[in-house]
Amino acid sequence: MIIILKNNAAREKVDALAAKLRGEGFTLHYSEGKHTTIIGLIGDTYKLDPEDIAAYDIVEGVRKVSEPYKKANRKFHPEDTRVTVGKATFGEGFFQVIAGPCSVESEEQIVEVAEAVKKSGATLLRGGAFKPRTSPYSFQGLEGEGLRLLLAAKRQTGLPIVTEIMDLSTLGMFDDVDVIQVGARNMQNFSLLKELGKTGKPILLKRGMSSTIEEWLMSAEYIMSGGNERVILCERGIRTFETAVRNTLDIVAVPVLKRLSHLPVIIDPSHATGQPWLVEPISKAAVAIGADGLIIEVHNNPEKALCDGAQSLTPAEFDGIMGKIRHYAAFEGREFGIASGASIGAAL
Amino acid sequence: MIIILKNNAAREKVDALAAKLRGEGFTLHYSEGKHTTIIGLIGDTYKLDPEDIAAYDIVEGVRKVSEPYKKANRKFHPEDTRVTVGKATFGEGFFQVIAGPCSVESEEQIVEVAEAVKKSGATLLRGGAFKPRTSPYSFQGLEGEGLRLLLAAKRQTGLPIVTEIMDLSTLGMFDDVDVIQVGARNMQNFSLLKELGKTGKPILLKRGMSSTIEEWLMSAEYIMSGGNERVILCERGIRTFETAVRNTLDIVAVPVLKRLSHLPVIIDPSHATGQPWLVEPISKAAVAIGADGLIIEVHNNPEKALCDGAQSLTPAEFDGIMGKIRHYAAFEGREFGIASGASIGAAL
Amino acid sequence: MIIILKNNAAREKVDALAAKLRGEGFTLHYSEGKHTTIIGLIGDTYKLDPEDIAAYDIVEGVRKVSEPYKKANRKFHPEDTRVTVGKATFGEGFFQVIAGPCSVESEEQIVEVAEAVKKSGATLLRGGAFKPRTSPYSFQGLEGEGLRLLLAAKRQTGLPIVTEIMDLSTLGMFDDVDVIQVGARNMQNFSLLKELGKTGKPILLKRGMSSTIEEWLMSAEYIMSGGNERVILCERGIRTFETAVRNTLDIVAVPVLKRLSHLPVIIDPSHATGQPWLVEPISKAAVAIGADGLIIEVHNNPEKALCDGAQSLTPAEFDGIMGKIRHYAAFEGREFGIASGASIGAAL
Amino acid sequence: MIIILKNNAAREKVDALAAKLRGEGFTLHYSEGKHTTIIGLIGDTYKLDPEDIAAYDIVEGVRKVSEPYKKANRKFHPEDTRVTVGKATFGEGFFQVIAGPCSVESEEQIVEVAEAVKKSGATLLRGGAFKPRTSPYSFQGLEGEGLRLLLAAKRQTGLPIVTEIMDLSTLGMFDDVDVIQVGARNMQNFSLLKELGKTGKPILLKRGMSSTIEEWLMSAEYIMSGGNERVILCERGIRTFETAVRNTLDIVAVPVLKRLSHLPVIIDPSHATGQPWLVEPISKAAVAIGADGLIIEVHNNPEKALCDGAQSLTPAEFDGIMGKIRHYAAFEGREFGIASGASIGAAL
């Protein structure tokens, strides 16, 4: 961390700040310029909040040199992390597709979709039970009943399930859920992240709509610093000035994250754009740029979906796209889905 | 709501959609153009999710004509809403200043700050007990103990208190809190909003860092549709490309909200920029543009603050600014603080 | 176009507006709702500025239904446009790579780079003579002398050249340039666009840093409405809140543009991120998502480059990446570079 | 400037870079941390492009410590600059209102508006002759004839005129124009800025739609480094995700600019929002926050305006607002318009 002092900083105040920082175990290096003096701070600066230093009235500004996260940082953990869910591995060398409807609506619906996506090669089933909706007048999900139906689909297909938690108070209901999803709006719900850090469950951490990559990794750090290192990151589009599609997919975040962190990264082409015809080109680009998987919305009847039908593919459309993703994954040397020889149904 | 049909939309599919919409009580008007046919939908469209309509494969696009919120909408509630907390009124004709430290640190600190800001004319005391911090390694607030100290300061000064709730599970601890604050990161924590809608307490609803004004009013609608109409909106800066200061204060949101809604609106100049020297010019502009109040960070020792000291004023600096705000409020015909003759201390 | 009237709109004013619009050849459809009356406008609305209608005091708002561009619109030109430069074709079925240094520095440098990139499979040479630099104290390009050196490199290698025009007054110097580039900062320099519309030269139109896709197509429309339909669009990253890399590449713009327009689209991975290690993953994703080409910065000595060396690849790094792009292009059924049998050198 | 070295940076490469920098006159300070070594660079770093340093393969990153502009920097020019146009002074202690139509349409129109706004207290007349329009099918301004009519209005009212230049090639036509406006889309038209730096005319430099404050000051630096220090900055709203109004007015840019620079700053409330009912509240806030003036669109018949009528006030509305601005300016101790005793008409 670098501290830029004001021109007229009083010597005794600078000394006091320096003494405080040395007391906290940091080593200090001074550089005096014509107009500015800077102090280089050496030590475990990730524990230091730049705002605390900026509060001193002799300080003009603060510049970070190293990342504020440690557990999620590739510098301290050079090997890729692989997160395994049942027989499916997220991380280097593998490629997984999670699929299913935006929200669970009935047992018939969720089982039908689960069977279809499994047949096409998906290795996990997604489905919303608790739904974050912008309007209080929109369908809010089947909640507990939705979880029950997801578990029924899991029993019938062998597919592990991924579903979103919206509030800490419902955590007890997620015991049999395989992967707990934290949605974009909850990416900085720190109370929730802390509790998830105490579970041993894989967490699918979606990027907040306007979160920087650094903030996203800090949210992963919340979970990991609690003891749970099974975090899968999911890019789902950020908010920009562009209105042609719902969000702007920051696909370059994938290689950037791969360099900064060791965690697996997947992409959500359905929420990124809200347009089903864009799922195929985005999915191919996702494999090409190095993502570890996809999460795709599939509904057996998009026109009758109770939420976000507009962005869902039919099972037949999904099947067509999976053929292409499979080819791309092979081209990139990725094992597609579960290892050959294994079968998901047998996992039960 | 306007539905734009695709060029090649099959007649029977259009008829099916039309029948469905009529069945839901809407009246339909058709306009056939050379390249496009549109359907105008008349009725209570705020209950209709545009995405549901966009899911139909005959639909090219959907355009909203009216607002998706009703309780928060000035069209259905032309009179200004006034929210009263103790003797302080938020809303037309009044101007309130809420002040206090970013976080509660000790009884001595919070009482000292409370007495100082009261003397300068603040009518409510703010102070964080539960703190949303980007890093798990930063101070997270005194939590329950922080609430206890705030209540002690309330007893000693008579100032009603405003403090942030971070998670539903702690709601029971807020019984004696006068105004519950929902922070920017929780603006779309819908589970929390729903529960707050069941309380009778004033809610200070901060704008999400990258939330549109419409989304913000939809979050107010969540609270109001639950039965609690005592919502105060608080603009605190949005995230943009500009990095000169922490956020970009969207000050024009004040008159825009006043036209769209009947709810009171205040401004947080401290969080908007993170720079104490900007509090004075922003505060004056806030009065001039029609805000109903301010929430300002004041700390008796910013350099030793446990969080965000960098953006705090000292009590003396705050006092200087209050003199100017008072003049501006008078100029705009606003009653500053509590009505003359009343005294906060006497409120106990 | 849809006109939403104010609730209290006086009948005679509505009639006056309606008469004016009918006089301009539009057909009008009315829909009267409980709270709102809307008018659907049928005809060539792309010539109508929504702001002109919004100026009427009886108008609450205006919603566009169709696109404001015509020449660039796929609806009126369903076939893909192919732009041919020498033996290289931009458009469906082909994939071109343009490469070269950020700025031309010497004859030795530009010829050496040109020969290297040609050997690796690039079909056009890029190089800046006039450089838009944020600081007046930075190197501004060799200007006329730079153009002369580019032409020398063209003579020696047979590669057609692409270079940026910064100001109308220099247009006369571009007679022997093969493709004129309009940079991001000039995307809405309408005086320049109009003049380029009178030339017969291919124009590489970069997207403005914060331009919407619609504004970008409107800038293409400026050129095309002047008579020059040889426009190649180039996505180079947009400005967002994210600071991990220089810009946020809006890669989804490629399939969105392909649906809205018939023009070829290429991607600039060098300027999008400013980081040479990201060129490879982005280039692969660009092919996968359907781009028609790439423009990549290559410098024979990035550390000594006079501008933007930080984002340049060495010729050896470029050659390694080209091998992968070639495979991806084949996988997507794209003819890579010039048609087999043809040779660029022979073009002279 | 601070250079952060890569962990594995080879000693001889570091020495080579250090030697080069010392050769350019910089002094270097080293700080070696556990994971990172940084070099502090002391000297005239504003002439150094951070990208040039980042190009070295031993460099991990670069952090700027001081501003890259000098002429526009308050550090090197602590006194406020005042720009005088006729009898009107822009800068500390004064407040000017520029008013007039978006575009000049006829002599009758421009003279009528000029007389009206002069009567209400405006001290300069604005009016567009060359109009930057997003669509090639929109009215592009009367061009040379528009300039002629503006000069006629100047002769009849004595009001100095402000009008926009769109292209260098027309500079010769601006001899009798008092203030040359550079529009948002041309803020980084560096060829134009350089030429304007050679004139002695006051330049009204509008902020680019998505330009940072630093980039804006760098554009001022282009003009000033050419010898023309008569620059007036104009904030007109930036592009963000919010769509409730046209742009997001960054009003806090005013005090931020006042701290960073010595140049006068005015606000354009008309273009910032595109909504005439917002001009009054924004204008009051502009005075309160410390702006040196306003530029406001006024049209004698907004419904018949040939461009942007939607954002124009009528002369009567403008007159009402001017009364309030006058009071606010007095409250802030600003001389409103020209000094008392002087009269604009007498200026001829």
Do D50 and D174 share a domain, yes or no? no
Domain span including residue B8: 2-63
What single DSSP character describes residue C76?
G
Residue B242 and residue D212 in contact, taking contact as beta carbons nearer than 8 Å: yes
Nearest-angstrom CA–CA distance, D216 and D214:
5
pLDDT of residue B308: 76
Banded pLDDT at A346 (limits 50, 70, 90): very low
- Chain C residue numbers touching D273 (CB-CB < 8 A): none
The answer to the question of residue B70 being in a domain is no
Banded pLDDT at B108 (limits 50, 70, 90): very high
- Chain A residue numbers touching B302 (CB-CB < 8 A): 55
What pLDDT, in 10s, does the model give residues C172-188?
999 999 999 999 999 99
What pLDDT, in 10s, does the model give residues D7-54?
888 889 999 999 999 998 898 988 887 777 888 888 888 888 888 888
Neighbouring C-alpha atoms within 13 Å toward the C-beta of A14:
17
pLDDT at residue B224 above 50? Answer: yes
Do C224 and C327 share a domain, yes or no? yes
Residue A52: count other Cβ atoms within 10 Å of its Cβ: 19
φ/ψ region of B90 (left if φ > 0, alpha if ψ in -120 to 50, else beta) reads beta
Do D137 and D87 share a domain, yes or no? yes
Closest Cβ opposite residue D134 in set C47, C166, C218: C218
Closest Cβ opposite residue B241 in set C29, C66, C241: C241
B29 vs C31: CB contact, 8 Å cut-off? yes
A241 vs D35: CB contact, 8 Å cut-off? no
Work out the minimum CA distance from A70 to partner chain D, whole angstroms.
13
Nearest-angstrom CA–CA distance, D291 and B281:
10
Indicate the number of domains in chain A.
2
**CATH number of domain containing C21:** 3.30.70.1140
Q: Which residue has the higher pLDDT, D104 or D35?
A: D104
Do A24 and A113 share a domain, yes or no? no
B29 vs C34: CB contact, 8 Å cut-off? no
Closest Cβ opposite residue D166 in set C140, C191, C218: C191
pLDDT of residue C121: 97
- Chain D residue numbers touching B253 (CB-CB < 8 A): 244
Angle made by CA atoms C142, C148, C154, in degrees to the nearest 5: 120
- Chain A residue numbers touching D210 (CB-CB < 8 A): 241
Do B142 and B249 share a domain, yes or no? yes
Q: Residue range D127-137: average pLDDT?
A: 93
Tell me if chain D has a CB within 8 Å of the CB of B287. Answer: yes
Closest Cβ opposite residue A282 in set C210, C260, C289: C289
What pLDDT, in 10s, does the model give residues A15-50?
999 999 999 889 898 888 777 788 888 888 888 888
The answer to the question of residue D342 being in a domain is no
Q: Residue range C202-223: average pLDDT?
A: 97
Residue A20: count other Cβ atoms within 10 Å of its Cβ: 14
Work out the minimum CA distance from A33 to partner chain D, whole angstroms.
5
pLDDT of residue C66: 84
- Chain C residue numbers touching D47 (CB-CB < 8 A): 137
Phi, psi at residue C156, to the nearest 5°?
-80, -25
Work out the minimum CA distance from B48 to partner chain A, whole angstroms.
8
Work out the minimum CA distance from D73 to partner chain B, whole angstroms.
15
Q: Residue range D207-232: average pLDDT?
A: 97
What pLDDT, in 10s, does the model give residues D79-99?
999 999 999 999 999 999 999
pLDDT > 70 fraction of chain C, expressed in percent and rounded:
97
Banded pLDDT at C348 (limits 50, 70, 90): very low
Work out the minimum CA distance from B50 to partner chain D, whole angstroms.
17
Residue in C closest to B2 by C-alpha = C2
Angle made by CA atoms C206, C209, C213, in degrees to the nearest 5: 65
* Subunits with 3+ C-beta pairs closer than 8 A to A: B, C, D
pLDDT of residue D78: 94
Tell me if chain B has a CB within 8 Å of the CB of A107. Answer: no
Do D101 and D56 share a domain, yes or no? no
Q: Residue range C286-299: average pLDDT?
A: 97
Nearest-angstrom CA–CA distance, D32 and A142:
57
**CATH number of domain containing B117:** 3.20.20.70
3-class SS string, C210-262:
CCCHHHHHHHHHHHHHCCCCCEEEEECCECCCCCCCCCECCCCHHHHHHHHEC
Nearest-angstrom CA–CA distance, D171 and A108:
73
pLDDT at residue C346 above 50? Answer: no
The answer to the question of residue B114 being in a domain is yes
pLDDT of residue D348: 37
The answer to the question of residue D28 being in a domain is yes
pLDDT at residue A254 above 50? Answer: yes
Residue type, C311: Q
Tell me if chain A has a CB within 8 Å of the CB of D22. Answer: no
pLDDT of residue B37: 85
Closest Cβ opposite residue A241 in set D30, D32, D240: D240
Q: Which of B164-173, B332-341, C196-205, D63-72 has the lowest mean pLDDT?
A: B332-341
Banded pLDDT at A65 (limits 50, 70, 90): confident
D34 vs A40: CB contact, 8 Å cut-off? no
The answer to the question of residue C92 being in a domain is yes
Residues 174-213, chain A: which have Cβ within 8 Å of C?
210, 212-213
Tell me if chain D has a CB within 8 Å of the CB of A32. Answer: yes
| Sheet with B59-63: strands ordered across | B27-32, B37-42, B2-5, B59-63
pLDDT of residue A47: 81
Closest Cβ opposite residue A281 in set C241, C255, C327: C255
pLDDT of residue C321: 97
Do C127 and C34 share a domain, yes or no? no
Tell me if chain D has a CB within 8 Å of the CB of B233. Answer: no
Q: Residue range A201-228: average pLDDT?
A: 97
Do D37 and D96 share a domain, yes or no? no
Maximal CA-CA distance, chain A: 75
Residues 67-86, chain C: which have Cβ within 8 Å of B?
75
Tell me if chain B has a CB within 8 Å of the CB of C38. Answer: yes
Per DSSP, the three-state class of A126 is: strand
Banded pLDDT at B314 (limits 50, 70, 90): very high
Work out the minimum CA distance from A82 to partner chain D, whole angstroms.
26
Q: What does the block give as tokens for B284?
A: 């004056």
What pLDDT, in 10s, does the model give residues B181-221?
999 999 999 999 999 999 999 999 999 999 999 999 999 99
pLDDT of residue A347: 37
pLDDT at residue D343 above 70? Answer: no
The answer to the question of residue C347 being in a domain is no
The answer to the question of residue C95 being in a domain is yes
Do C59 and C104 share a domain, yes or no? no
pLDDT at residue C268 above 50? Answer: yes
Do D164 and D27 share a domain, yes or no? no
What pLDDT, in 10s, does the model give residues C116-144?
999 999 999 999 999 999 999 988 999 99
Tell me if chain C has a CB within 8 Å of the CB of A333. Answer: no
**Residues in CB range of C40: below 8 A, 6 or more apart:** B31, B33, B38, B40, C1, C2, C28, C29, C30, C31
Q: Residue range A90-100: average pLDDT?
A: 97
The answer to the question of residue A108 being in a domain is yes
Do D277 and D323 share a domain, yes or no? yes
What pLDDT, in 10s, does the model give residues C89-116?
999 999 999 999 999 999 999 999 999 9
H-helix or E-strand containing A330? helix A315-331
pLDDT at residue B41 above 90? Answer: no
Do C252 and C291 share a domain, yes or no? yes
